[in-house]
Amino acid sequence: MNKNLQTLTRGFLKENPVFVLLLGLCPTLGVTTSAINGLGMGLATTFVLVMANLVVSLIKNFIPDKVRIPSFIVIIASFVTIVELVMQGYAPALFEQLGLFIPLIVVNCIVLGRAEAFASKNTIGASLLDGLGMGLGFAFALTILGAVREFLGSGAIFSIKIIPGDLMLVFVLAPGAFIALAYLIAISKKINKTK
């Protein structure tokens, strides 16, 4: 498989941040009460990942080792602020739903981990592909988890009612997040094992 394609697709199943690496579980469990919330959080994190990887890869040779991690955090925080302001201005309902989890992207292990482990050691192109792949993998995981929880809890997906009435309300609550995530991790492990 082409190395660029491998870098881009690694975040979906083989090294999915949520289902395999178990990173970023705070927003994963907190915002996935619906598919739209999962997708919104996933796309916001994807933007931050791509842009942070780009900037870190561009300036990696100019950052002294002593201030490497604080520099990465400042870079990440800058892009999180952009996402927060844009979402607040153009998607206020989604911003209200995601609330505190948007600013918490700054300390998300996925973003800082990719900046440190990949972008600071690789080319700009590879870093962009890595950020995009991991970000889309994260968005995929959050959207799937949100869709499962929304469907099992209220009979809807993306707020489109499929089954009338409420089903198992536990899936809309915090315990449902853990139950649904556990089953999705098991399915992911089964898929990765068969490949």
What does the DSSP 8-state code read for residue 33? T
Cα–Cα distances (Å) from 35 to 54, 58, 64, 107, 186, in that order, read 28, 34, 41, 23, 20
**Predicted local distance difference test score (pLDDT) of residue 195:** 65
Q: What is the pLDDT of residue 124?
A: 95
Q: Kindly provide the b/e burial profile for residues 38-76, where b requires at least 16 CB atoms within 10 angstroms of the residue's own CB.
A: bbbbbbbbbbbbbbbbbbbbeebeebeeeeeeebbbebb
- Provide the residue-wise pLDDT of the chain in tens; the chain has 195 residues: 588 888 788 888 889 999 999 998 988 999 999 999 999 999 999 999 999 999 999 999 999 989 999 999 999 999 999 999 999 999 999 999 998 899 999 988 899 999 999 999 999 999 999 999 999 999 999 999 999 999 999 999 999 999 887 788 899 898 999 999 999 999 999 988 876
Query: Which pLDDT value is given to residue 3?
Result: 81
* pLDDT at residue number 1: 57
CB 117 within 8 A of CB 126: no
